Amino acid sequence: MPEAERLELRHATGVTELAVGRGRELAGAALAGWAAGRAVFVVTSAPIWELHGRACLDAVAEVASSFEVLAVPDGEAAKTPEVAAGLWQRILAGGGKRDSRVVTFGGGAVGDVGGFVAGTYMRGVPLAHVPTTLLAQVDAAVGGKAAISLPGAKNAVGVFHHPRHVVAATAVLETLPPRQLKAGLVEVVKAAALLDPRLFAELERSLDGLLAAGADRVGLVAAAQRAKIGVVERDPEEHGERRVLNFGHTLGHALEASLPPGALLHGEAVAYGMAFATALARRRGLEAGFERRLGGLLARLDPPPLPACAVAPLLRCIERDKKARHDGPVWVLPTGVGAWEAARLPRSEVADALAAFVESPAAC
């Protein structure tokens, strides 16, 4: 077996084994035993499969009883009920049974639609994620959540369905455009800011090196996974602590849902969401220095300027957010590095702060 960091996530239905290493052969090596003699359905998108598919998964194809590559549209366009229905039908037509295997091979969007289909087809078939973006390696592939979107309601329909395996080979990140790499690092900054002060300080020291071509990112991916695993094990179904992972996502999802497709990447929208949540937190007693440190890291990740957006549609999306209850959304607000609170805020306070934020995000 190639050299790798190995982690485990224990959950109500078993254990997820996670492997993080450099070489692309890691995926085949980690999954061959699990896939041997089974019908394997790989959910992927054409560009990712062409870049890395065979190098990562040929060893799985060799031992599977059948091996079918199911391509979905690239990016967010994959996360629709129509694409999910198409996958159910193709798996059925391909002889998919309760003990078949679904492997997702791609970024968080592919992982979400593939995980959703695996969690619902025949009430759930065994799943492995082979994430190929930094964002998916550090975040989306870990924790068992999978969702598709409805128009104007990001991730509105979903399931909890834990993968049996998550295999992250950092060599595949070499082909990731720098903008995608930076957007993935935003989710690492998010987890580090509220969960892991040591990782936060490490990011401040080594961010530029992590962005360089050929950087060793195995330690980074494993550290971010470890932080998320701790939270998910303590609060698997998001009744309390797991909410922390939504830092930046309340406004982030609203931006994604209300801006034209592709205007901001997920991580970029979350970066603006974190800045906004921090501005809300400032009025409630935020540790001195937090905002400067978070802002410094996010500025180094260089998100594109916030496109013009109106407050009213953003507020509607925020209220429709799937995390919102009848009495409004729960905001994850930092109180300092490694510390946070969940708060419900008056609609008028959010509306006023948002009006100022969309006008001038940097000044907020």
Ligand X SMILES: NC(=O)c1ccc[n+]([C@@H]2O[C@H](COP(=O)([O-])OP(=O)(O)OC[C@H]3O[C@@H](n4cnc5c(N)ncnc54)[C@H](O)[C@@H]3O)[C@@H](O)[C@H]2O)c1
Is 187 catalytic? The answer is yes
Is 129 catalytic? The answer is no
**Site residue total, ligand X (CB under 6 A):** 30
For every residue of 64-104, DSSP letters joined together read SSEEEEEE--SGGGG-SHHHHHHHHHHHHHTT--TT-EEEE
Residues 95-124 within binding reach of ligand X (CB under 6 A): 106-110, 112
Binding mask 218-257 for ligand X (x = CB under 6 A): ----------------------------------------
Which among 172-180, 299-307, 338-346, 350-358 is the span making contact with ligand X, rule CB under 6 A? 172-180
Q: Is the dihedral of CA 291, 297, 301, 302 positive or negative?
A: positive
**What 8-state DSSP symbol labels residue 118?**
H
Work out the angle between the directed axes of helices 54-63 and 25-35 (0-180°, nearest 10).
Answer: 20
**74 contacts ligand X (rule: CB under 6 A):** yes
In the set 202, 233, 238, 241, the catalytic residue is: 238
**127 contacts ligand X (rule: CB under 6 A):** no
**140 contacts ligand X (rule: CB under 6 A):** yes
The pair of structure tokens assigned to 186 is: 């935003």
Binding mask 177-216 for ligand X (x = CB under 6 A): ---x--x---------------------------------
**279 contacts ligand X (rule: CB under 6 A):** no
From residue 48, how far is each of 64, 78, 314 by CA, in Å? Answer: 21, 13, 32
How many whole angstroms separate alpha carbon 84 and alpha carbon 201?
A: 41
In the set 228, 243, 256, 268, the catalytic residue is: 228
Is 165 catalytic? The answer is no
> Considering beta carbons, is residue 80 or 353 the nearer one to ligand X?
80
**68 contacts ligand X (rule: CB under 6 A):** no
> Considering beta carbons, is residue 128 or 135 the nearer one to ligand X?
135
How many whole angstroms separate alpha carbon 125 and alpha carbon 143?
A: 16
Q: Which residues carry out catalysis? A: 123, 145, 187, 228, 238, 242, 246, 249, 253, 266
Name the residues that contact ligand X, by CB under 6 A: 45, 47-48, 51, 74-76, 79, 106-110, 112, 132-133, 135-136, 139-140, 143, 145-146, 155, 172, 175-176, 180, 183, 266
